Chain A
Amino acid sequence: MSLRIMPKGALKAWVTRLQSRQFKVVGPKSLHGQYIFDEITDPNDLVLDYPTSVLPPKKFLLPPRETLFRFNARTMESHAEITVEPLIIFGVHTCDMHAIALLDKVHNTGYADQHYKAHRAATYLVSIECLKPCMEGSFCKSMGTLTVPEAFDLHLTDLGSDYAVDVGSEKGEELLEGFSSVWEPTESDYERVNNVMAAKWPHFSYRLECDVTELPDLLSISQKSPLWDELGERCLACGMCTKVCPTCYCFDVTDEIDLNLEKGERVRTWDSCQIEKFAVVAGGHNFRSSRALRQRHRFMRKGKYQYEAFGLMGCVGCGRCAAACLVHITPVDTFNELYRMRQSAKAVPQPQIKEPQP
């Protein structure tokens, strides 16, 4: 919509001001040498120049444990439990913004999820331009997620002494309302922004050997690849890859009831397709009985299924699953290995089918 300039020194005053306007402010802060998204009570704790967070900001839109409704098992009354508060998430990286764009799509498709929508409507996203690679496993440039999608309210770019502030929505304007330490950009400010943007690209490398647009087709022809068995042998089925994933949204639903067996709540909690019982039906049949099949399902969702179902990639290249995996199963290695297997299969002449001898 429009661009503003804010001196970096004004950031703390801005955060304090937003808090005084009854916004809850969360953002990256340091904890035991890693970064987590957490409530910022002291603006000094907010770190916008951070590598990556342990969990993505998804946790504010789809909490790990969320009450869907409260019920009374005697009277059979039930009421939705949707409690939200105005929340500003600072410092969302562009990969995580792409993930939120997918979550938006999923939860507004078909029967829209009122719980997600309520969280999302109350949330203000202040994203930040990534100017250098954050961690070893990330491959955002290959996935096309190194620029911000339209989902942002405000988007910051670090210009050294100032932030360029892109205003992406009315909600973004609302956050800047009455704050005097922002100004309209001059010609030289535009030049500074463009120079920073031009300088950032060479810092990032393409880590996939194929183009992102090839992934759905590559995965289509890799359904029977021996690589899945190899990954299945290594996988510990711990589910960490899905826990840290910004686009994983699968959940379990359980009832919790008071000891008097009257009042209770129906709760959803994060679930993982890597856990053995995820696709088991009542008769006991398991549609993905092996770790190989479950890893295949996960990578297919990331590079093919979600794209086909929702038009957006299920992987945003953040690299968190690669960092979390205890046995070094990574999307970059997996996609590249499938690509190499495909390339070498092309190079090798296909075995000829011989006519049976009479």
Chain B
Amino acid sequence: MTTLLNETLRQESIYIPTPARIATINPMTATEKLFRVALPSGFSLAHRPGQFVEVSIFGVGEAPISICSSPSHSNGSFELCVRSAGKLTNALHRLSPGGTIAIRGPFGRGFPIERFRGKDIIFVAGGLGIAPLRSLIEEVIADRGKYGRVYILYGSRSPNDILFSEDLKLWANAPRTEVHLTVDRTAPGWDGNIGVITTLFPKLRFHSRNMVAVVVGPPVMYRFVLMELLARGLADGNIWLSFERQMKCAVGKCGHCQMHHIYTCQDGPAFSYAQIKNLEEAL
């Protein structure tokens, strides 16, 4: 019998995390590391692609971090791709394998993957946005026959900032799958595209009628990518986005992630464009 990790929240307190062990740490770039986190035996995360966990280091604090491994690659442990960008993530980067952290979650609504079956999918990732998307891409690649053509567009600041390069190669070799990379600034040895992510769109030949798009990146990216997708005829309800917000509780109480009547932590972080297009401050 395994216990779902988020069931523990209904016991003593919704704010108490469960201790978990850092199994491995792989440095990825100058600022990002990949952590594999092992739950104590008897617990399972059972997350959906696009969900997140709250990561604690006692004495430092807690921060929301997207789960970057797919459910099918998360048997008793799961992966987090963490940029050293704040108090908690800096402390996380100082830990060693075997170190202990604490986890709450998974939280929120992930991507509605069952609605993507039989459709062509275009994934658009900017920077660290590849992390939550990876949980979905891996799931799609693992079950490749259930989906149509797959296009993966990924923009990074420079070639040295590209995350998951080994995975990108694997994905590019999957059937009916294209991977297109771009960088803002080039570096020696780079012969790929240079420019913002939207410069990749003219290279694509796709038919938008039976297509869904899943877009995750920094706030500034959304507007421009949406313009490209809408101009190619994608329906509002077939464009999925994931929102980053400050979250202190992840259970719809602390108010930091609220936009309109929506608590991003519980009602999101994944939304269709149709759900949020008329909400001021959403984009």
Asked whether, in the complex, the Cβ of A249 is within 8 Å of the Cβ of B58, the reply is no
A288 and chain B: residue at smallest CB distance: B281
What residues on B are CB-neighbors of A297 within 8 Å?
A: 258, 281
Asked whether, in the complex, the Cβ of B61 is within 8 Å of the Cβ of A254, the reply is yes
B256, B261, B266: which contacts A279 (Cβ < 8 A)? B256
Interface assignment of A341: CB less than 8 Å from any CB of chain B: no
- Name the distance in Å between B165's Cβ and chain A's nearest Cβ: 22
Interface assignment of B32: CB less than 8 Å from any CB of chain A: no
Asked whether, in the complex, the Cβ of B58 is within 8 Å of the Cβ of A76, the reply is yes
A264 CA to B253 CA in the complex, in Å? Answer: 23
Asked whether, in the complex, the Cβ of A257 is within 8 Å of the Cβ of B58, the reply is yes
Supposing A114-B14, A305-B260 touch, asked if A282 and B63 sit within 8 A by C-beta, the answer is yes
Asked whether, in the complex, the Cβ of B246 is within 8 Å of the Cβ of A111, the reply is no
Bin the interface of chain A by size.
35 or more
Supposing A69-B13, A114-B13 touch, asked if A252 and B245 sit within 8 A by C-beta, the answer is no
What residues on B are CB-neighbors of A112 within 8 Å?
A: 10, 14
What residues on A are CB-neighbors of B58 within 8 Å?
A: 71-73, 76, 78, 255, 257, 264, 266
Asked whether, in the complex, the Cβ of A68 is within 8 Å of the Cβ of B13, the reply is yes
Asked whether, in the complex, the Cβ of A273 is within 8 Å of the Cβ of B255, the reply is yes
Asked whether, in the complex, the Cβ of B254 is within 8 Å of the Cβ of A250, the reply is yes
Interface assignment of B100: CB less than 8 Å from any CB of chain A: yes
Asked whether, in the complex, the Cβ of A282 is within 8 Å of the Cβ of B85, the reply is yes
The A272-309 residues at the B interface (CB cut-off 8 A) are: 273, 278-283, 285, 287-288, 293, 297, 300-301, 304-309
A78, A80, A252: which contacts B248 (Cβ < 8 A)? A252
A79 CA to B60 CA in the complex, in Å? Answer: 17
A251 and chain B: residue at smallest CB distance: B254
Most A CB contacts (10 A, CB to CB) among B85, B256, B262, B280 go to B256
Asked whether, in the complex, the Cβ of A271 is within 8 Å of the Cβ of B255, the reply is yes
Asked whether, in the complex, the Cβ of B59 is within 8 Å of the Cβ of A264, the reply is yes
A284 and chain B: residue at smallest CB distance: B85
Interface assignment of A110: CB less than 8 Å from any CB of chain B: yes
The B20-63 residues at the A interface (CB cut-off 8 A) are: 57-63
Asked whether, in the complex, the Cβ of B12 is within 8 Å of the Cβ of A278, the reply is no
What residues on A are CB-neighbors of B89 within 8 Å?
A: 282
What residues on B are CB-neighbors of A305 within 8 Å?
A: 258, 260-261
B283 and chain A: residue at smallest CB distance: A287
Asked whether, in the complex, the Cβ of A293 is within 8 Å of the Cβ of B281, the reply is yes
A287 CA to B266 CA in the complex, in Å? Answer: 18
Interface assignment of A106: CB less than 8 Å from any CB of chain B: yes
Asked whether, in the complex, the Cβ of B251 is within 8 Å of the Cβ of A110, the reply is yes
Asked whether, in the complex, the Cβ of B14 is within 8 Å of the Cβ of A109, the reply is no
Binary flags per residue of A97-117, CB closer than 8 Å to B gives 1, else 0 = 000000000110111111100
Asked whether, in the complex, the Cβ of B245 is within 8 Å of the Cβ of A111, the reply is no
A115, A255, A264: which contacts B13 (Cβ < 8 A)? A115
A73 CA to B281 CA in the complex, in Å? Answer: 38
Interface assignment of A34: CB less than 8 Å from any CB of chain B: no
A68, A69, A249, A293: which contacts B255 (Cβ < 8 A)? A249
Bin the interface of chain B by size.
35 or more
A109, A252, A282: which contacts B83 (Cβ < 8 A)? A282
The A225-265 residues at the B interface (CB cut-off 8 A) are: 249-255, 257, 261, 264
Interface assignment of A82: CB less than 8 Å from any CB of chain B: yes
A307 CA to B83 CA in the complex, in Å? Answer: 37
Interface assignment of A195: CB less than 8 Å from any CB of chain B: no
Asked whether, in the complex, the Cβ of B61 is within 8 Å of the Cβ of A250, the reply is no
- Name the distance in Å between B92's Cβ and chain A's nearest Cβ: 12
What residues on B are CB-neighbors of A79 within 8 Å?
A: 12
B57, B60, B245, B253: which contacts A106 (Cβ < 8 A)? B253
- Name the distance in Å between B168's Cβ and chain A's nearest Cβ: 22
Interface assignment of B249: CB less than 8 Å from any CB of chain A: yes
Binary flags per residue of B52-82, CB closer than 8 Å to A gives 1, else 0 = 0000011111110000000000000000000
Binary flags per residue of B236-254, CB closer than 8 Å to A gives 1, else 0 = 0000000011101101111
The A25-84 residues at the B interface (CB cut-off 8 A) are: 68-69, 71-73, 76, 78-80, 82
A68, A285, A293, A301: which contacts B219 (Cβ < 8 A)? A285
- Name the distance in Å between B159's Cβ and chain A's nearest Cβ: 21
Asked whether, in the complex, the Cβ of B254 is within 8 Å of the Cβ of A287, the reply is no
Interface assignment of B229: CB less than 8 Å from any CB of chain A: no
- Name the distance in Å between A79's Cβ and chain B's nearest Cβ: 7
Supposing A253-B61, A264-B59, A300-B260 touch, asked if A111 and B86 sit within 8 A by C-beta, the answer is no
Most B CB contacts (10 A, CB to CB) among A109, A249, A282, A301 go to A282
The B142-194 residues at the A interface (CB cut-off 8 A) are: none
B17 and chain A: residue at smallest CB distance: A78
A309 CA to B260 CA in the complex, in Å? Answer: 9
Interface assignment of A223: CB less than 8 Å from any CB of chain B: yes
A224 CA to B256 CA in the complex, in Å? Answer: 22
A222 CA to B249 CA in the complex, in Å? Answer: 30
What residues on A are CB-neighbors of B244 within 8 Å?
A: 281-283, 285
A282 CA to B83 CA in the complex, in Å? Answer: 9
A79 CA to B15 CA in the complex, in Å? Answer: 10
Asked whether, in the complex, the Cβ of B245 is within 8 Å of the Cβ of A287, the reply is yes
Asked whether, in the complex, the Cβ of A73 is within 8 Å of the Cβ of B255, the reply is no
Apart from A109-B252, A297-B281, list 17 A-B contacts with CB within 8 A.
Answer: A69-B12, A69-B15, A69-B16, A110-B252, A110-B266, A113-B251, A251-B253, A251-B254, A264-B58, A266-B58, A279-B246, A280-B246, A281-B246, A283-B218, A283-B244, A305-B258, A309-B262
Residues of A near any B CB (own CB < 8 A):
68-69, 71-73, 76, 78-80, 82, 106-107, 109-115, 223-224, 249-255, 257, 261, 264, 266, 268, 271, 273, 278-283, 285, 287-288, 293, 297, 300-301, 304-309
Residues of B near any A CB (own CB < 8 A):
9-10, 12-17, 19, 57-63, 83, 85-86, 89, 100, 102, 218-219, 244-246, 248-249, 251-256, 258-263, 266, 280-281
Q: In the A-B complex, list the 4 residue pairs whose CB atoms are closest, starting with the nearest.
A: A250-B255, A308-B261, A257-B59, A80-B13
